[in-house]
Amino acid sequence: RRVHGGFNFIFCTLFWRSVFMEKYRQWADPGTGINPFVPERIVSNNILVRFLKLIVGTVLVLVRLPVIAIAFSWIIIASFVSMLLPIAFVRRFWDRLTIPIGARLWLFGLGFFWIHADYADSRKLRLRIPPDDSRTSLPPGQRVGAGDLIVSNYTSVAEVLYLAFRFTPIFTVSVPDDDEPEEKGVVFRKSLLGAIRAAMGFNFPSSHGGTTISSLAASAHAPISVFPEGTRSNGQGVLKFAPVLKEAQRNNKRIPTTLVAFRYQFSHMSPTHTVGNGFWHMIKLCYQLYNTMYVTYLPAFEVASASAKSEDWKAYDDQLR
């Protein structure tokens, strides 16, 4: 009976796993086997371990949710005051003074106690070593200026909060459009609260009424954050870019672009968020003892040197990916 019961358990587990995976199969890449939308998690079969996680996780959620509520309230108040400031440089100063506090507190509430940030390995990527000391400045990204682009992968609200903490940029939302990709290349400017809302749901804006990166960069007083994939993935691969970088020029030159790559290490549930309710996903992040984020930077100089020969915007996108 014990053997028969164990067989039934294994059979039911495999059956429901196959049913779960079936709805994601159409998005899998046949060449690599990578499926960019399958939620990643590790489930322990030890009942005692699962019981202890339930007890500890419940306590953590009760402690961390008030921290997130304080951070959220801080960002709302800071954003409201920023809207009342009429002078651009004063508004920028206020944003850089207040927004990083709320964003980092929010990340802390989600369990991101330490964030590992470093530069990409130029030799491994076969890129030209910069002649100056651009790689000696820590933390990475200090040389990103107003109107410059920050292009990154897109997996969860954690990336939005980190970028708000490090750069307080102008956030944009890209619209994936397969019908007329040559004609669609617009982005939609978002406030930090709007970017958080977009990262926690699936509400894509209409493809009407947007602006181009070049138009936005011409009058920007802050860096511009771009998520060119247009939708969130589990981070196993980089999705095809929406055509938003094809006209990213300023003074007939490509806008300086810094690449920022995010990845996570986890023991139970990945911080990446592909499907489901965003608030419930945050609760599950609070449920974990800690979460680990790794951020890798490729400075604008190295991006420019690697893509100097790419005149076609599609080739440029491929190189950035």
Most confident residue range from 92-96, 270-274, 302-306, 317-321: 92-96
- What token pair was written down for 123? 């030799």
Please tell me which residue, 250 or 96, carries the higher pLDDT value: 96
At 14, the pLDDT band (50, 70, 90 cuts) reads very low
Is pLDDT above 90 for 293? Answer: yes
- Burial of 171 from C-beta contacts in 10 A (0-12 / 13-18 / 19+): buried
Pick from 237, 249, 242: nearest CA to 226: 242
Query: Is the pLDDT reported for residue 75 higher than 90?
Result: yes
Segment 87-119, tens digit of pLDDT: 989 999 999 999 999 999 999 999 999 999 988
Q: What is the pLDDT of residue 314?
A: 57
Q: What is the DSSP string of 174-243?
A: E---SSSTTT---EEEE-HHHHHHHHHS--PPPSSS-B-HHHHHHT-SS-EEE-TT-S---SSS-PPPPS
* Mean pLDDT calculated for residue range 153-161: 92
Query: Nearest-CA neighbor of 164 among 76, 110, 103, 118?
Result: 103
Q: What is the pLDDT of residue 164?
A: 96
Q: Is the pLDDT of residue 69 over 90?
A: yes
Query: What's the mean pLDDT when you consider all of the chain?
Result: 78
Please report the pLDDT score of residue 135 as a whole number: 58
**Which two structure tokens, joined as six digits, stand for 5?**
């019961």
Q: Please state the rounded mean pLDDT for residues 269-279.
A: 84
- Give yes or no for residue 181 having a pLDDT over 50: no
Q: What's the angle, vertex CA 166, arms to CA 252 and CA 306, rounded to 5?
A: 40
Q: How confident is the model over 188-240, as pLDDT tens digits?
A: 889 999 999 988 875 555 545 678 888 888 888 999 999 988 888 877 777 77
Of 180, 185, 241, 228, residue with least CA distance to 210: 185
In percent, the amount of the chain with pLDDT more than 70 equals 70
Work out the number of other CB atoms within 10 angstroms of the CB of residue 136.
Answer: 8
Question: Among 58-67, 125-134, 136-145, 191-200, where is mean pLDDT lowest?
Answer: 125-134
What per-residue confidence (pLDDT) applies to 268? 78
- Tell me: pLDDT of 153 over 60: yes
Q: Cα separation of 187 and 154, whole Å?
A: 15
How far is the C-alpha of 70 from the C-alpha of 179, rounded, in Å? Answer: 43
Determine the pLDDT at residue 233: 80
Highest mean pLDDT among 43-52, 163-172, 246-255: 163-172
Tokens (6 digits) for 260: 């920022």
Q: Is the pLDDT of residue 121 over 80?
A: no
pLDDT of 101? 96
